[in-house]
Structure 1
Amino acid sequence: MKRFKISSLVLLVFVFTTNAQSKKAEDKNAIKKMCGCYEVTFNFAETFRYSNDSLYKPSTTKIAKALEWAQLIEEDKNKISIQHLLQVGDPSKPHIVKHWRQDWIFQNTDFYMFNGDNSWNYEKKSESEVNGQWTQKVFQVDDSPRYEGSATWVHVDGKSFWENTTDAPLPRREYTQRNDYNITVRRNRHEITKNGWVHDQNNDKVIREEAKEDIILAKEKGYNTYIKVDDSKCKAATDWWKENNEKWALVRNKWEEVYARNFDLKLKAKVDNKALYKYLFSEEYTKKEDVNKVIESFVTQ
């Protein structure tokens, strides 16, 4: 009887481990389906407004289209990193814009959570809190932090999706136009579709002040569709990445060193009246020592 119980326990452990490995492989497959060449439509509209100001002006509805190349730049058993590149302008001679990056880390326990005013609080979670989950870490065009959150990929009824709520900085389309709120509470859903994938968002525009309750100024709907097209349409972007990937590896490596300090992080908005991305987008910054020095000059804690 005792031998039978031990054998049953071994069998249960084997089945559990096999199922977990199968689920993880399914998760990774879904994440990697976001790679490739896509015709993207960005859709954002302010929906509900809660301001008591009679002169309040809502954000204008935005609809924009572009080609976007999502390049797989790193993969190991617990991490997938994808760099996005926009391909815009004249199709015969397109302009390439280094766009956002997303890193997916399995059962990650180290977090930098946005806290307004260009600052991120370091948080350490327990292994039990993130068991089976994937953290999506989203980075700015200069590979500085943006926002991140952890959740479980769900595969059910023929659907594969991941969704999470987290605090984030204002997107460029907002902070260049307004300063009446300082936090975007993002409700992100990434869903793989038969034609590509969808980034579905239901966001709050929040005013946050220390020792006060958050004030929701307005709500926003975002619905970005990524329709897969032949990779050859993004050849200009792939060529650009081949020419520039070594430089941006230096940038990522320096940021990894900063993040590994595991302390609260605050960054300057500008140094000598110039934003970080303007330094790093310059052809002057190609050497490791120059890249390291300029990034460090923006880190205040």
Structure 2
Amino acid sequence: MKINTFILTTTLLLIGFVGRSQDVKKKEDVKAIKSMCGCYEVQFNFAETFSYSKDSLYKKSPVKHETALEWVELIEDQPNKISLQHLLITGKTEESIVKHWRQDWLFENTKFYTFNKETTWDFNQLSPKEVKGQWTQKVYQVDDSPRYEGTATWVHVDGRHYWVNTTDAPLPRREHTIRNDYNVLKRTNVQEITTTGWIHDQDNAKLIRKNNEKDVLLAQEKGHDVYTKVDDSKCKIAQDWWKKNNSVWKKVRDQWEIVFLKNKDLTLEKKVDNQPLFMKLFDLKADASREEVAKIIESYISK
């Protein structure tokens, strides 16, 4: 059978063009993600916008406006995985450093721990086709336990660079200390890179979730966190703290990875010995052993 050389050549050229275009697009994605690293003055803004409760005594959550200084450290940089650790600076000494949340970005990831309710995450798997060209953002709590995650495509158009996803999450710390009338926060997260830093924009739904029942919408919320880049020297104490403590937190992440690789639903205990997990991990010495770390984390996993 004769092969039309024109068609063959054209096809090969198109394949090469598409491949190069995908490489360029991925490089733009990586640049956007890594640009979230550095020292930032952060403004946290949250307001409950609409309430749907039939209770006449229902009270909205108070409007929140807070500022903070935060260092975002690049702790893993691989072709298909980028990990960013946030460190909150609350004072002028290393004792004031709080290991904050972590965000991992995985390219074309197919495995997910989707938040269900309370302290349970369901393991789910998508096909490679469903995540083609997408990045998963996996967000972890201060103790590196799971929080929420979702997959979407980074968009670079009209001078804008952003990523949008909707996913279920536990109540944030600002809410679970004052609210017990809902148990799921359905978050629409927008990460957008700006000329002065980046923005984390949120449109959230506060849901009541019960087994075998339809979710009930209790209220909606707007979040708008603005990260304004400042000179790295302003975050030096956080950088110094991380140099001294990063090894123990690498052991914590490694132990969690062992848990996640089991690819099964996960339920965590809220407290063990009347203490939440983060308190036990925060008390670890910088030279704590892997065995000590593993023992603590395993004690919080419901069998």
| Deviations 1:219-252, CA, capped at 9 Å, x for gaps | 0000000000000000000000000000000000
Structure 1 contact 34–70 (Cα < 8 Å) conserved = yes
**Which residue of 2 is the match for residue 49 of structure 1?**
51
**Which residue of 2 is the match for residue 151 of structure 1?**
152
**Which residue of 2 is the match for residue 245 of structure 1?**
246
**Which residue of 1 is the match for residue 302 of structure 2?**
300
Equivalences for 1:1-301 in 2 at 5 Å?
Answer: 2-89=4-91, 91=92, 95-284=96-285, 286-301=288-303
Structure 1 contact 94–236 (Cα < 8 Å) conserved = no
Q: C-alpha displacement at 1:117, in angstroms?
A: 1.9
**What SS is found at the alignment partner of 2:6?**
helix
Give the letter for the 2:83 counterpart: S
Structure 1 contact 135–148 (Cα < 8 Å) conserved = yes
Structure 2 contact 41–68 (Cα < 8 Å) conserved = yes
Structure 1 CA distance for aligned equivalents of residues 210 and 146 of structure 2: 21
State the TM-score, normalizing by the size of structure 1: 0.98
Structure 2 residues without counterparts, runs of 5 or longer? none
The worse-fitting range, judged by mean Cα deviation, of 55-64 and 225-234 is 55-64
Give the letter for the 1:150 counterpart: T
Structure 1 contact 204–216 (Cα < 8 Å) conserved = yes
Give the letter for the 2:297 counterpart: I
Structure 2 contact 144–253 (Cα < 8 Å) conserved = yes
Q: C-alpha displacement at 1:178, in angstroms?
A: 1.1
Structure 2 CA distance for aligned equivalents of residues 281 and 211 of structure 1: 37
Structure 2 CA distance for aligned equivalents of residues 99 and 52 of structure 1: 36
Structure 1 contact 47–218 (Cα < 8 Å) conserved = yes
**What SS is found at the alignment partner of 2:188?**
strand
| Deviations 1:30-80, CA, capped at 9 Å, x for gaps | 000100000000001111011111111110011110100000000111000
Structure 1 CA distance for aligned equivalents of residues 11 and 218 of structure 2: 55
Q: C-alpha displacement at 1:283, in angstroms?
A: 3.2
Runs of 4+ in 1 over 2 A off after TM superposition: 91-94
| Deviations 1:125-169, CA, capped at 9 Å, x for gaps | 000000000000000000000000000000000000000000000
Aligned length: 300
Structure 1 contact 207–215 (Cα < 8 Å) conserved = yes
Give the letter for the 2:6 counterpart: F
**What SS is found at the alignment partner of 1:42?**
strand
Structure 1 residues without counterparts, runs of 5 or longer? none
| Deviations 1:252-296, CA, capped at 9 Å, x for gaps | 000001000000111111111110000000035721100001101
